[in-house]
Amino acid sequence: MKPTNDFCPQTLFLYGTYDDEGRADFGLFCWFSYIWDGELGVMACIGGNKLTRENIHKRKVFSANLVTEKLLPLADYLGNTAGHSPEKKKLNLETEEGKILPVPVLTASPVNFELEVKQFIPLLDGEVMLCAIRNVLQDDLLAKGEGASPEKLNAIAPVHTTCQRYFSWNGKSLGAWGGPMSDIG
Ligand SMILES: Cc1cc2nc3c(=O)[nH]c(=O)nc-3n(C[C@H](O)[C@H](O)[C@H](O)COP(=O)(O)O)c2cc1C
């Protein structure tokens, strides 16, 4: 077969960056995993040119916000709408400032990484970024709440993606890419 990652589910994140006007921009990303370099770090790949990539190049920092079922319609929209488009620039999302880095953090997401790029690895068309995790924010339910991790994961319901579709934490189909966004008003 040609290169494909079908049937290999991935976790989804919304990367938050500030543009030149100080506006928060969010894009949807799944090429995200972890590295070890004396401590836990993150590797992220961005393919092609997009506002998120330009903003990260200028500021060397971004947030990665875990996508949950509740966030999916918005996340799908943010992954299918270019940051340079006037409609995305008009969006008014509920964000907070990172606690350590100057990055926009999505309030509705239960897990947020504040990331600082330590190394850019340019490829033919894409780019890999190796990042230090400068801070992790978790909802109280996760960080301090009672109960074991299975119940907590069921409560936040992270979304998986593969085969160009979204899947719930327990494996239910949540629609094809570009589908859930039709649920936002
Ligand atoms: C499910 C899904 C996953 C995506 N994952 C990535 C990814 O890992 N890397 C990437 O470069 N683009 C990815 N995209 C595309 C970006 O989200 C899209 O280019 C978006 O417009 C980026 O936001 P921006 O234009 O505001 O930078 C994905 C899109 C979808 C729908």
Quote the pLDDT of residue 71.
Answer: 98
Quick: pLDDT tens for 39-70. 999 999 999 999 999 999 999 999 999 999 99
Neighbours of 182 (CB within 10 A): 10
Exposed e or buried b per residue across 63-89, where buried means at least 16 C-beta atoms within 10 angstroms of its C-beta: bbbbbbbebbbbbbbbbeeebeeeebe
- The band of 185, judged by pLDDT with boundaries at 50, 70 and 90, is low
Rounded to whole angstroms, how far apart are CA atoms 32 and 160?
Answer: 12
Neighbours of 107 (CB within 10 A): 11
Going by C-alpha positions, the residue among 46, 65, 79 that lies closest to residue 165 is 79
How large is the average pLDDT for residues 78-85? 97
Quote the pLDDT of residue 61.
Answer: 98
Element (H, E) at 176: strand 173-176
Q: Which protein residue has the closest C-alpha to ligand 1 atom 21?
A: 82
DSSP 158: B
Quote the pLDDT of residue 184.
Answer: 83
CB of 178 closer than 6 angstroms to any ligand 1 atom:
no
Quick: pLDDT tens for 120-133. 999 999 999 999 99
Going by C-alpha positions, the residue among 76, 25, 30 that lies closest to residue 184 is 76
How large is the average pLDDT for residues 112-118? 98
H runs (alpha helix) in 81-174? 86-89, 140-143, 149-156
57 class by beta-carbon count within 10 Å (0-12 exposed, 13-18 middle, 19+ buried): middle
Quick: pLDDT tens for 134-172. 999 999 999 998 999 999 999 999 999 999 999 999 999
- Candidates 6, 13, 50: which one to mutate for ligand 1, based on the most atoms within 8 Å of Cβ? 50
For the CA of 29, the closest atom of ligand 1 is 5
Quote the pLDDT of residue 108.
Answer: 98
How large is the average pLDDT for residues 76-81? 98
pLDDT at residue 183 tops 90? no
Mean pLDDT of the chain: 97
Classify strands 13-18 and 10-11 as parallel, antiparallel or unpaired: unpaired
